[in-house]
Structure 1
Amino acid sequence: MSDRPDGSADAAPIGVGGPAIRAEDPLGKAATENFPVALRILPVRIRQDLEAVYRYARHVDDLGDQASGDRLAALGSVEADVRALYNGGPVSDPVVAGLASTVARQRIPADPLLRLVEANRRDQHISRYETFDDLLGYCRLSADPVGELVLRVFGRATPERIALSDKICTALQLLEHWQDVSEDYHRGRVYVPREDLRHFSVREEDLGLRAATADVRALIEFETARAKDLLEAGAPLLGTLSGWARLSVAGYVAGGRATCAALRRGGFDPLRRVPRPTSPAFAGAFLRSMLGRRRPVTKGRA
């Protein structure tokens, strides 16, 4: 079986085996950090498909972040298994094999799965970004595929919706970076673009201090506002959705809005304490997201 020229994919071979999907399995960074999904109340089939794609995203992240030995080789093995899944070949990785029924049922193309691998491959040799556009390019690989996969699980993927989802997912990835800027620095990674560090007269080592200087706070306020603008630019996606899809995506948007509020409440100082959304802030943002107006959208899958 092979990818179609239009970017869609034939169904993966149902005969490819894999472990049973369990509700208690980890859902991956995308789900557990700034991508909240109300899995427990979703219909079983949707929940299983979301768990399968989140488990895959978490698996790829773990290989890129924590695997011992040759991480590039491990990521290459996952990529080979994803391609085998679509070409009818043998799949050795049980997490990739566990995607088979989801890929077949939801007609998920290989591209978003492969982009997640490429993001982690880049992490092995790139730890700094010169410009904001460079960082956005990374987010297109590391974050945007998750949103596309979610839309495909719900059968709501169209070019318009995917474009809006990309804005939301990039915003959430950026907000995660600004929350964890100190932790990332101590792990040898700086996601703040170098051009922004220079503009705000911030040195890299300033990101590792116990408390943010005035310049660092101004920098984080600027980056948060830029992420918030992206989030709100993608929020009209909610108006094109209904039912379970709207409920789940509203959780994503609410998580981003609540994170922006947490950064603001903390004085844009994520060095002293990592700002996390409070439950009331998330609940309020979720209700506001759910109550937004719906609008018509071109029907059909991407």
Structure 2
Amino acid sequence: MNIQPHDSASRDEAQGIAVGSSFYTAMRILPRAQRDAMFQIYSFCRQVDDIADSDGPRDVRLEALQRWREDIDALYAGHPPARVRDYAGPIAQFGMRREDFLAVIDGMEMDVPADIRAPDAATLDLYCDRVASAVGRLSVKVFGLPDDDGILLAHHLGRALQLTNILRDIDEDAGIGRLYLPREGLFHAGITSSDPNVVIEEPALPKVCAPLVAQARMHFQKSDEIMARNKRRNVRAPRIMSKYYRAILELLVARGFALPRDPVRLGKVSKMAILLQYAII
């Protein structure tokens, strides 16, 4: 599925873009060329993520991801296959790097040979870099940040968002056999199992989550420092994403990580307040 940006919200929703989501809202405020480029990045990420998360045979999924690598290579070699042909314009305009597209594929692939279960801290950080910060490195090119600060922002904000996702989706991930909480944290809390369905029932689970909350807050803080020293127009979209996810993180902390864990969502009023502050005013 190739997702293209349109002026009609209903058309966006029909194509799989979550209208009202933090991504949709943050990107819709961008000028047309930047918005189109960001939805191309979204299209790519969604397609490779759908492969990784499908219930098809693992060897078939690995082959499908490899075909994506070959298509990206062909795109950058100047003879793009049909499904990536529309990426050529934004890549040329904004200077997005081939290595970052390939890193995203590598990150998605980490879930395919076997479901991730209690990775060590280094592997978890590599996963965050590939599935989140690499997307950030593509995005900051579109936003127009200078290279040094752009790379730093992608590093910190990507990790902040992904750690928040991991903390938010513990139960959902366990339902598909995955556990992204780090092995060292489990051991420190006295949890010896890596079975997701066992871990989510552990009374010591909050002890595992606390260091991840601290890491995410640190990365959000670093992101704020970087955005504060850059032009407001260049960081409007990442600021909205950051504020949305930081609010979700704090809602998770307020709820706690012990059972029962009700789903956490950011309300419409809170979303509108962030949008007014960073996109309109």
Aligned to 1:82: 72
Aligned to 1:144: 133
Change (3 A) 1:124 1:151: same
Ranges in structure 1 where 5+ consecutive residues have no aligned partner: 1-17, 291-302
- State whether structure 2 residue 53 is matched by structure 1 residue 65: yes
Please state which structure has a larger fraction of its residues in helix: 2
Contact map agreement 2:161 2:245 (CA 8 A) in 1: yes
1:215 maps to amino acid: A
- State whether structure 2 residue 87 is matched by structure 1 residue 99: yes
Ranges in structure 2 where 5+ consecutive residues have no aligned partner: 7-11
Contact map agreement 1:212 1:272 (CA 8 A) in 2: no
1:91 maps to amino acid: P
How far off its partner does 1:104 sit? 1.3
1:215 aligned residue (183, 197, 204): 204
1:79-116 deviations in Å (ceiling 9; x for gaps): 10000001123414x1x222111111112110111101
Contact map agreement 2:174 2:196 (CA 8 A) in 1: yes
1:21 maps to amino acid: Q
Measure, in 1, the Cα distance between the counterparts of 2:31 and 2:192: 49
1:1-23 deviations in Å (ceiling 9; x for gaps): xxxxxxxxxxxxxxxxx978332
**For residues 265-280 of structure 1, what are the structure 2 equivalents within 5 Å?**
265-269=254-258, 272-280=261-269
**For residues 57-206 of structure 1, what are the structure 2 equivalents within 5 Å?**
57-66=45-54, 68-69=56-57, 70-92=60-82, 94=83, 96-126=84-114, 127-202=116-191, 204=193
Q: Which has the higher contact order (CA 8 A, sep 6+)?
A: 1
**For residues 29-68 of structure 1, what are the structure 2 equivalents within 5 Å?**
35=23, 37-66=25-54, 68=56
Say which SS state the counterpart of residue 34 (structure 2) adopts.
helix
Change (3 A) 1:197 1:114: same
Aligned to 2:9: none
1:26 maps to amino acid: G
1:75 maps to amino acid: L
Change (3 A) 1:222 1:202: same
Q: CA RMSD in A?
A: 3.0
1:234-260 deviations in Å (ceiling 9; x for gaps): 221211332432210111210221012
Say which SS state the counterpart of residue 38 (structure 1) adopts.
helix
How far off its partner does 1:287 sit? 7.0
**Sequence identity percentage:** 25
Say which SS state the counterpart of residue 110 (structure 2) adopts.
helix
Contact map agreement 1:168 1:231 (CA 8 A) in 2: yes
1:115 maps to amino acid: A
How far off its partner does 1:186 sit? 2.1
